Amino acid sequence: MPKPLIDLRSDTVTKPTPGMRRAIADAEVGDDMVGEDPTVNRLEAMCAEMFDKEAAVYACSGTQSNQMAVRTHCRPGDELLINEAGHIANFEAGGPAVLSGVTVRTIPAPHGMLDDDELDGKIRRDDQHLCRTRLVCIENTTNMGGGRAWPLEQLERVSAWCRDSRLKLHMDGARLFNACVKRGYTAADVGRLVDTVSVCFSKGLGAPMGSILVGSAEDIAVARRSRKLFGGALRQAGIPAAAAIYALENHIDRMAEDHANARLLAEGIAEIDGLSIGPDDVETNLVFFEVDPELGTAAALIQKLLARGVRMGSTVAQRVRACTHLDVTRGDIERAIEALRETVEEDLHTPVGAAAGPYAQ
């Protein structure tokens, strides 16, 4: 009997655990559109308390909650500042421009993390010819920046810079709890430093869908109207919300296992000739490594890996991304390392078929 496929493309591929499925089945529901779903109400209150904020609104996805935040803080003709690798700038289908008439200005920074020195001098002067700089967006952990977790001291500097500059600060916290586990800070530590923060339940937390946007009561009231405008108003949403509550109560601390598995994978990759990685650069559950052009492209490697029962993703010609999650065991990682080793030992110059598509989430 063939061994199960090891899917390392993203933590979005996770399936609900048995305990989560029971929580879903037992969920008490109502009409969330009019505030009558008790499970959604509990989730929103729970998240507001966790982040020490006044309010929260449940959303369909992280992209939706991020775009709700952009529309909350900006008006048409405004601009936001973001690192050049940021998800909002690259992987949300031009949402700021399409949905809110907001311009995105990207700024380079190491590992996808802006600091006050990169932000200095970036605010446009008050001139009718120019966009109005209104918002800074940051990402924790950084996705294309390598899965790095923000140091709290750096976040404090950026928060102070935004406050002194009278700009709003939004955190795309798609994998925020990975950062909390890695750095040892709490959701409340982050909440006091940002105006709004969104968190995905469908990544490392392992829920089937959903995201939350947390902030002041005033900001969340505006965001809730945007949710309706964007087609995200929900009805009996207690079903997926119950999964999110279960995830928050059961799946945060276990993320340390994903981080350990990612480090194990990185250490194994470092021992394979033709693949390049710095294991110390792997902080959380994202693993990026380079493929020597003499071996072929990242897409070629990924396709041959699939024949050995391992799935990974690629975003650029020679770079592969792998992501550990709650459906991947230490044994799976050991199998994946062996599959990589065997694949690299083959002749990767042999032509292959269509490239594996990117998996930017």
User: Do 269 and 235 share a domain, yes or no?
Assistant: no
Spatial CB neighbours of 14, under 8 Å, sequence gap ≥ 6: 202, 203, 206, 325, 326, 327
Instruction: State the pLDDT confidence band at 315, using cuts at 50, 70 and 90.
Output: confident
User: Do 219 and 283 share a domain, yes or no?
Assistant: no
Check if the beta carbon of residue 212 is closer than 8 Å to that of residue 43: yes
Flag whether pLDDT at 306 surpasses 70: yes
Domain with 143, as residue range(s), is 16-250
Distance from CA of residue 213 to its chain's centroid?
13
pLDDT tens for 254-303 read: 999 999 999 999 999 999 999 999 999 999 999 999 999 999 999 999 99
User: How many domains does the chain fold into?
Assistant: 2
User: Do 149 and 232 share a domain, yes or no?
Assistant: yes
User: Do 266 and 177 share a domain, yes or no?
Assistant: no
Residue 7 lies inside a defined structural domain of this protein: no
Residue 354 lies inside a defined structural domain of this protein: no
User: Do 186 and 72 share a domain, yes or no?
Assistant: yes
User: Do 172 and 297 share a domain, yes or no?
Assistant: no
Residue 213 lies inside a defined structural domain of this protein: yes
CATH of the domain at 311: 3.90.1150.10
User: Do 222 and 311 share a domain, yes or no?
Assistant: no
Residue 351 lies inside a defined structural domain of this protein: no
User: Do 127 and 179 share a domain, yes or no?
Assistant: yes
- With residues binned 3-state (H G I as helix, E B as strand, rest as coil), the percentages for the chain, rounded to 5, are 45, 15, 40
User: Do 168 and 31 share a domain, yes or no?
Assistant: yes
Domain end marker among 196, 224, 250: 250
Check if the beta carbon of residue 114 is closer than 8 Å to that of residue 170: no
- State residue 225 phi and psi, 5-degree precision: -65, -40
User: Do 304 and 322 share a domain, yes or no?
Assistant: yes
User: Do 206 and 280 share a domain, yes or no?
Assistant: no
Helices 330-345, 255-270: crossing angle, 10 deg rounding: 20
User: Do 312 and 277 share a domain, yes or no?
Assistant: yes
Residue 4 lies inside a defined structural domain of this protein: no
Residue 360 lies inside a defined structural domain of this protein: no
Check if the beta carbon of residue 161 is closer than 8 Å to that of residue 55: no
287 three-state secondary structure: strand
Residue 79 lies inside a defined structural domain of this protein: yes
Residue 58 lies inside a defined structural domain of this protein: yes
pLDDT tens for 18-70 read: 999 999 999 999 999 999 999 999 999 999 999 999 999 999 999 999 999 99
pLDDT tens for 149-177 read: 999 999 999 999 999 999 999 999 999 99
199 three-state secondary structure: strand
Domain end marker among 250, 273, 308: 250
